[in-house]
Each structure stands twice: as structure tokens, then as C-alpha cells.
Amino acid sequence: MSRKEFRDLASPERAHEVVDSLDLDPGTETVPLDDARGRVLAERVDAAQDVPGFDRASVDGYAVRAEDTFGADEADPARLELVGRVDAGERPEASVGSGECIEISTGAVVPEGADAVVMVERTDTDGEDVLVRTSLAPGDRIMFAGADIAAGERALGPGTELTAREIGLLSALGVDGVPVRGTPTVGIVSTGDELVRPGEPLDSAAGEIHDVNSYTIAAGVEEAGGDPRLYPHAGDDMAEMERVLREAADDCDLVLSSGSTSASAVDVIYRVIEERGDLLLHGVAVKPGKPMLVGTLGGSAYVGLPGYPVSALTIFRTFVAPAIRRAAGLPEPRTATVEGKMAVEERYAEGRHRFMPAGLVEDGDGDTLVYPVDKGSGATTSLVEADGVVEVPADTEYLERGETVAVQLFSPDVRAPELFGVGEDDPALSRLLDEIRRPRYLGLGSRQGLRRLRDGVPDVAVTCAPGDPGVDAERLGAWTREWGLVVPAGNPEDVSGLADLVDRELRFVNRTTDSGLRTSLGNAVADLADERGVERHALVDAIDGFERAVRAHESPARRVRDGTADAGLGLRATADALDMGFVPVGEEAVRVLANPDRVGKPGVERLRELLEDDGAVDSLPGYSKE
């Protein structure tokens, strides 16, 4: 088969139909009771025996013949002869004759001859006799055999999910081997030449990256009630990859792969589908997810997922997870979708059905706001910065701010973060966040922090920008941090300050323009230019690497440590953490500003407390609280 040309992409509805037509049925199996939780009954379970299996005393007291107590009351008790005693788990040794009684414990077998039990509280003893101070009717305080559930009665129906309580009923019925729906086995075949298992070393210069999708999708398969099997990565050996695909198809109910950037891997997939099955669908008119493949591989089903992690998880969750759940007999989780209001307007240029990655944040009233997350192609951090996707039909031009939308969560138990912040990347802040349950923080720099705070999305912004922040905000706290040049341990080049970068042949690494440190460096360079009476750009041009900008607070220092630079822009705290040398240049102030509507949120209150009381900020080298 040459690659089929599909002129039209399938509609999302058609893709659902095709995936739903696949046979993932794992059959049934019998599991021991203590492994049955979370499984689904394959067939009806009727009681095979009466529960309880005998007439059982419901209280501690005396087993009697009810007719012996007729007319008895407090003043005029019935006097019965005590002829024995029976405890729970004992066979009664005596029977109860007329005028007799037997002492009995809760749960014990009611002896032959007795037809009622009197509570000990309604009796007295008098020598060998028992005085019963109440009248009893036959059956009083007895749970008859089969009264709980009788042999032949319907106990649990097919399709019942087994939670603690159903396990309890099965125990009562004495069922040990439980007939349950099998767990669909899902083979996950890693197809990218560049993929390396987490834990194994990476050769970045050769373009290797860790395999993200296999592990993400495996976890998604488990969440959907399937049994994931990771098939070892085939590298660039196409014959080996073909063998692995065939093996997975033989062993599993469903085989998944996620989009490879390698054309040869795609060709292998086509070849195996051609030989062993049918290609049922190629391409779906959704964004992301256009490259989805659906087919069969012999007796197994096959779905090819897109390559980017958020796309792969979205397509998996939308089309594949429901099919796995159905095969396992599990219902859709109740909490898989939440509603919220759009925090910002979002416009769409392209008329394609889309799954917009979205984050959740609670406003000051506890209502859920939804904002789009778009970190661009292939960012794995989007996996944790988005909470789910909003399905947007192809004819939607925009979602209005305040419009109610439904977010399909990536996992049923996803919840809005307790604190959502945007701004400077800072090690002290990181420590404070450790003390907050479920924070979300995007280290996008001061400008983005303030811009987003102005848009009303995050709870707080963390900014180095001095002066008026240009947004109505409440200051939760602030600190200063010492910055300068991070150099190798021992400062082998004997760097003494900023002037050395200008005057000597030193390779420098800067931060990107969104960072507060970059602004502080720019100001220091301007001061030096003033001092020397030259133009600022002359100094900038003289610094080898002023435009060599990296994104995060440790990144320049790490370049220096790797030997690719002699000095990097950074904090004293960073130099200290990485056991490197440090040449101080200045101090800058960092402020934490809150949206005034959100100051009552527990996460924001907690951050304020931490800023006031916690030693985390002051204990870092070069830091002091304002």
C-alpha cells in the first residue's frame, strides 16, 4: 500500500464512530475477592446461600419461648429456668423447653425450641432463674436465616462496579472468585528515533529527547481502566520496530503509537497495517490531532496519536479513553468535565474544530475562570500548565470574556490551583511555593506577570519592575536579591566586575529580555556608559554574548559550569546553590502583587502569611526581606 491520499479529513463524530467500532473486548476473568475492587462484574451474582445462615440473636440476652412471657411486665416478670449459654460461633448445646431459657450473645445461633430473644436489660437473675420483665412476640430480636439475603435472590447485576460496599456484600455471600470483565491490554509502541527512556542518559547534541508520550499515555490508559504495556523503543532499526508492532498486535487488545517525526517509522506502520489489518481512518479535522490514524492489526485495534504531548493526551482522552473504559465496563468518570467562565476573549482565525488547551483559576468568589494555554508546539510543560481542553466547534470565531465553557479535564481529579502566579523566576519564591498546596506559577518575567495581572487571570504577579506597576494591585510582600556575574568556582579568570566584560575577551551569557535581571544589567551598563561618557550600545557591542540570552535563572550559570562561557548573569543565591564563584554587581527589588479581588483566596492569604513569617526568603544568600 502506498500511503493513501485522503482528500477529506474525517469529522470528529466520524472519528468517534470509527474508534467505537473497534473491538477491544478483553473477555472475562475470575479474580480473588481482595483483587476485585475497581473491577466490573461480568455476570449477575445471586446469593448461593442464606445470609445469615441460621436464626441469629440480634442482642445479648436470653433465648426464650415467646409464649412463656405472655403477660409479663416490670411488676410481674416471667420466671424461667436458665439451662445453658451460647456464644457467637458456637453450636447450641441445649434446646429451650417450656419454662426454660438460654443465655445468648449477639450473633449466636438461636437454640432449638426458642422463638424469641429478650435483651439482657429487660431481665434480672434470681439464683438459677431469669426474670423476664417484658412480653415478647415470636421472632422478637431474631434475624431469621435468609433475612438479610436469601439463597436464590439477586445480589449484584452484571456491569456493577465493585467498590468497598459491593466487596462487603460479596464477602457476606462467601464469594471468593469474582467473575469480572477483563482489563483491556493496551500496547504502547514508541516510534521516534530520537526517543530515550527516562532515567537513561541523553545525547542532546545528537538530538535525543526523553520519551514523554509513552509514559503519559500509559498513565492515561491506567486512569481509563486499561492495562498499559510499554514496548521497548525500537530506535532507528525499522526491522526491529516492525517486529515490535507485530508482537504488540499479537499480545494486546489495542496498540497505540504516537506520531513520529521520522518518515520511515510512519512507513513501517503503514506496511504492518497493510499486511495485518485495515486502515479505517486517516486524519481528523480537529486541531490538534489532524494526523490521527485508526485501523486494525490482525485481531487487535490500532490508533496512531499525534506527536506533541498535549495533542497526544487530548486525542487519547477524547477518542480512545472512552473506548477503553467501555471495554473495561467502566462508566465515564463523573468529574471529567467542569464548567467555567472565560477569563479573557479568545479569537480563532482558522475554521477548524479545535480542542483548546485551557487552565483553570478560581476568582475571589470561588467561581471557576478558564483561560487558554498556548505554549506553542511540543512544549511538555503545557501538560501541567493546562488542566484540560475546551472543545470549540469549527464555526466559532471567538469565545467572549465571561462566556461559560466546559473544560474536559485531563484527569478526573484535576482541580484549579490554590494559587496562580505569573512573573519572575526566583529561587526564594520557589521555596515559598513549596509551602502551598497545588500552586501554579509561570516564570515568564515581570512584564508578562503585570500584563496578565491586568487581564485578570492570575492571582498574583511577581515583578522586578520598579515604580507604578500600572495595574490596581495589593502588595503582599517584597524582598531584594543580590545579582551579578556567576563565574567558575574560584573565579579563575579573576573577573572583578561589569567593566571586565566590556574590556576583556570574556564569553558572557545573558538572560532573555523578559527577566528582571536583564533589565538590571541594562541599567548597570547604561551607568557604566555614563561614567565613561560613551554610548550604551558601544559597551553592549563590546560584550561578547550580550545577545546570547537564555531563559531561566540558573541557565547562564549552567552554561558557565559547562565551560561554554566565562561569566553569566545571575544571582548570588544561584552561584551558591551550584557551588560557583560570584562577582556582585547590584541589588534589585522583587515585589509580590495580588489582584485585589483575590486577596481573600486561601492560597493568596497563605502566600501573604509566608511572606510575613517564613524564613525561606531571608535564609537565601544575597536575599533580604523588605
**Segment 187 to 216, residues that bind a second copy, using CB under 8 A:** 192-200, 202-216
Among 26, 77, 309, 516, binds a second copy (CB under 8 A): 309
Q: What's the min distance (Å) between Cβ of 216 and a second copy?
A: 3
Residues 15-74 that bind a second copy (CB under 8 A): 33-34, 37, 44, 46, 49-54, 56, 58, 60
Kindly tell me which residue out of 68, 100, 166, 459 binds a second copy, with binding defined by CB under 8 A: 166
Q: Which of residues 568-597 bind a second copy (CB under 8 A)?
A: 574
For 27, the grid coordinates are 473477555
- Cell triple for residue 313? 493526551
Grid coordinates in use for 150?
436469601
Residue 491: phi, psi to the nearest 5? 50, 60
The answer to whether the Cα torsion of 213, 215, 216, 220 is positive or negative is positive
Torsion of CA 297, 298, 300, 305, to 10 degrees: 0
How far apart are the C-alpha atoms of 23 and 324, rounded to whole Å?
10
Closest separation in Å from C-beta 205 to a second copy: 6
* Identity of the residue, 18 or 310, whose beta carbon is nearer to a second copy in the bound complex: 310
Tally Cβ neighbours within 10 Å of residue 572: 20
CB of 173 to a second copy, least distance (A): 7
Closer CB to a second copy, residue 401 or residue 551?
A: 551
For residue 420 the three cell numbers come to 496562580
Cβ proximity to a second copy, 198 vs 600, nearer residue: 198
CB of 89 to a second copy, least distance (A): 3
Part in contact with a second copy (CB under 8 A); list of ranges 21-29, 375-383, 487-495, 517-525: 375-383
Query: Which residue, 207 or 533, has its beta carbon nearer to a second copy?
Result: 207
Cβ nearer to a second copy, comparing 279 with 557:
557
Shortest CA distance to 288 belongs to which of 392, 176, 365, 426? 392
Nearer Cβ to a second copy, position 427 or 469? 427
**Amino acid at position 424, single letter:** E
Residues 382-441 that bind a second copy (CB under 8 A): 383-384, 410-411, 413-415, 425, 430, 433-434, 436-439, 441
For residue 138, the SS3 value is coil
- Residue located via cell numbers 449466636: 108
CB of 534 to a second copy, least distance (A): 26
Residue 592, amino acid = V
Shortest Å distance, C-beta 400 to a second copy: 28
Q: In the set 27, 157, 232, 402, which binds a second copy (CB under 8 A)?
A: 157
* Interface pattern 168-187 for a second copy (x via CB under 8 A): xxxxxxxxxx----------
Choice from 17, 73, 121, 236 touching a second copy (CB under 8 A): 236
Question: Per rule CB under 8 A, is residue 89 in the interface with a second copy?
Answer: yes
Q: Which of 11, 380, 480, 491 binds a second copy (CB under 8 A)?
A: 380
Please give the DSSP secondary-structure letter assigned to residue 331. P
Residue with cell 547562564: 556
| Pick 11 or 411: Cβ nearer a second copy | 411
Strands of 232-278, DSSP E = 254-258
Using an 8 Å Cβ cutoff, are 566 and 584 in contact?
no
Q: Rounded distance, CA 411 to CA 617, Å? A: 34
CA pseudo-torsion sign 495, 499, 505, 511: positive
| Residues 91-150 interacting with a second copy (rule: CB under 8 A) | 91, 105-109, 143-150
Please give the Cα distance from 425 to 516 (Å, whole number).
9
**Closest distance of CB 144 from a second copy, Å:** 7
Residue the block writes with cell 493546562: 386
Q: Which of residues 433-472 bind a second copy (CB under 8 A)?
A: 433-434, 436-439, 441, 443
366 binds a second copy (CB under 8 A): no
Other beta carbons within 10 angstroms of residue 563's beta carbon come to 9
Identify the CA nearest to 542 among candidates 512, 570, 513, 507. 507
Residue closer to a second copy (CB basis): 242 or 500: 242
Closest CA to 303 of 234, 220, 379: 220
Count of positions on this chain that bind a second copy (CB under 8 A): 133
86 is a contact residue toward a second copy (CB under 8 A): yes
> Which grid coordinates belong to 609?
502569611
C-alpha to C-alpha distance for 415 and 354, rounded to whole angstroms = 23
Among 344, 526, 529, 552, binds a second copy (CB under 8 A): 552
Among 98, 335, 496, 513, binds a second copy (CB under 8 A): 335
| Dihedral sign, Cα of residue 199, residue 200, residue 204, residue 207 | negative
486-525 residues in contact with a second copy (CB under 8 A) are none
Out of 133, 341, 375, 454, the residue judged to bind a second copy by CB under 8 A: 375
Footprint on residues 594-613 left by a second copy (CB under 8 A): none
Q: What is the closest distance, in whole angstroms, from the C-beta atom of residue 587 to a second copy in the complex?
A: 21
Q: Which is nearer to a second copy, 86 or 405 (CB)?
A: 86
Phi, then psi, of 204 in degrees rounded to 5? -65, -35
